[in-house]
Structure 1
Amino acid sequence: MGKGKGSGGKNDFNKSGPKDLTHVDWKNPDHKRIVAACLVMGVYVLESDRQEKSFKDALAKPWFRSFKFQLFVELIDPRDKSIYGAIYRFESPSHLPPEAPEFVIAFRGTMLKKRSFYQDLKLDFSIILQYFHRTKRSKIAIAEVTRIVKDNPNVWLAGHSLGSALAVQAGKSAAKANDFLETFLFNPPFPRVKQWISKAKGKFTAILVTLFKGPHQLSEDDELTKTEWSLKTEWSPCSSISMT
């Protein structure tokens, strides 16, 4: 499971963010992967800032502003008020490169912190018990993605751990409406996610990897996990993801 990060260096973009990405080439799959990973990390840090009552977005901003994104909407769980997702919008849509997304909807994973662990763990167990799709958080995530995609087809989804499960649910829902979103799934929590995807209709290809290797990693895995599926759907969330 993904774990929330405490205050200090791991949340500080200047210390833990990608050091060698000074200019994003939106045609480069590795650059796209890194941007998606940083936006997911931004959700973790938004919730960490909230719990630690830091100045709003104090540490979170660089995780998205560095790539010319603004925080458009925070996705908040109505049960514990935790920030579990964020909708980011590109700062200057009129100067948007053709390969870049106008919106990115990112979801964090499980945070074992005082004000989020209980609800997050309940959702983890809902995946095991196969009723995750009926949870409030899942329904809200799908509704928000549907709302954004309705008027803005240029949208990415990204999620880590528990957040990957949310991205899959939202992506499946969008695909049923013929909206096939580029989706970055980092370290899905359980094999059940693979089964969800295998039941989808259309053409689906996903490459799943651990997120952030080294001192700024989100995943606890030591090895890079890379799995590719080509299934019977038309949803192609991502063609290449890796994080080193």
Structure 2
Amino acid sequence: MASNLDVFEISGPVHLSSIDWSCPHDQRVVAASLVQATCIQEKDRENKRAGSEALAPAWWQPFHFECIEILIDNHDSSIFGCIYKFKQPFPAHPSSPRFVVTFRGTLPDRRHGFQDGFLDLCVIFGGINKTARFETALDAVQKLMTDYNTQDIWLAGHSLGASIATVTGKYIAKTNIHLKTFLFNPPFASIPLDWFSNLDNKLKERLRICKTILKGGVSLFMQNQRKKSLDEFSKLAAWTPYLYVNPGDPISASYITYFKERKEKEGKIIGYVEQVATRTSLRESCSGVLSRGSEMSHLLPSASLVVNLKKLKSWYESHGIHQWWQQDICLEFSDHHYQHETKLMHFIPHFKS
């Protein structure tokens, strides 16, 4: 039997009878619904629900989309992504997308646990860009852009899917093409000090500063990796994805601290080192030397951070996709943009290799 959470008429945004494409709230609801549709497509496939029994179409049809392609993981044959085409009225609204490419999150069951769990580990250790699932996603988006000669494409993903959407958006942004991107509860691939409740605030701050100096120092010392990080961050600075997190979600909540601390340290010497530290990670710096080319998906130069302040019953609900189309949602908005490193050179000398 299907879960009520998968049934659009029970758990979906049925209140959105018409879409104002210029409204960020409506855009968020549509993007989240299409991500949910992708997840349910895999559940339909697994449970052999087809035709009138399929639940997924109800999540895209009310918004005038059609699914034109599904993306398959070649390891477990599961549907992990979808390409939706908007059935545009004439004339089309200037803010509506032509296509939306979505990626589902981890499905915590026996059928998907091994492959999805492996990819979750790849996110944590910075290797998601070396997986076949990411390569399939990137190829699909690039082919879509070429075949239709368009950049009018939205990317959207939840949890693991948000990490894939992030790295896909990053790769494309490095070519100076900035696709509108919606990231719902993306994993922050670093253990935050806030998880250790037994540590007092002063000790946490000292440990954070030591961590910053170590990361920044390693990156500065490794001149080639440092220059690579600066160049890539500068290219990515104009790309501003929408980042949706909940403070009660231990998987993504650290983004709130990540951007808050970076903003607080601007204009201070430790802040300049922090600019270097928040561009890279120890794993990424060291892997650069070893030519592994890892990609830490949580390192974002810029973002429109949207925080849901509504307290939910459990961390599972706080991490879930359903919260992002609820009518009683309580949102806080903040924009964060990368400040190009300039004065840092007056304080930190170049190291010759």
CA distance in 1, matches of 2:177, 2:87: 23
CA distance in 1, matches of 2:318, 2:12: 12
Amino acid across the alignment from 1:123? L
In the alignment, does 2:153 pair up with 1:155?
yes
In structure 2, the residue matched to 1:96 is: 92
Taking CA–CA contacts closer than 8 Å with sequence separation of 6 or more, which of the two structures ends up with the larger relative contact order?
A: 1
- Deviation string 1:97-138 (CA, Å, 9 cap, x unpaired) is 211001000001100123222110000001122211101101
Question: How many Å apart are 1:90 and its aligned residue?
Answer: 0.7
CA distance in 2, matches of 1:149, 1:220: 30
- Give TM-score scaled by structure 1 length: 0.81
Unmatched 5+ stretches in structure 1: 1-5, 234-244
Number of corresponding residues:
223
Identity over aligned pairs, percent? 36
- Deviation string 1:188-218 (CA, Å, 9 cap, x unpaired) is 01246xxxx9953232433422499879x68
Seen in structure 2, the aligned counterparts of structure 1 residues 140 and 55 have a Cα distance that, compared at 3 Å, is same
Compare CA radii of gyration and give the structure with the larger one: 2
Which shows bigger deviation, 127-136 or 101-110? 127-136
- The alignment partner of 1:66 has SS state of helix
Amino acid across the alignment from 1:181? L
Unmatched 5+ stretches in structure 2: 191-228, 247-307, 324-329, 341-353
* 2:336 alignment partner, one of 225, 229, 233: 229
CA distance in 1, matches of 2:12, 2:3: 13
- The alignment partner of 1:205 has SS state of coil
CA distance in 1, matches of 2:80, 2:242: 23
CA distance in 1, matches of 2:331, 2:139: 32
Runs of 4+ in 1 over 6 A off after TM superposition: 211-215, 221-227
CA distance in 2, matches of 1:95, 1:127: 41
* 1:189 alignment partner, one of 171, 187, 190: 187
- Give TM-score scaled by structure 2 length: 0.57
In structure 2, the residue matched to 1:9 is: 4
Question: How many Å apart are 1:37 and its aligned residue?
Answer: 0.3
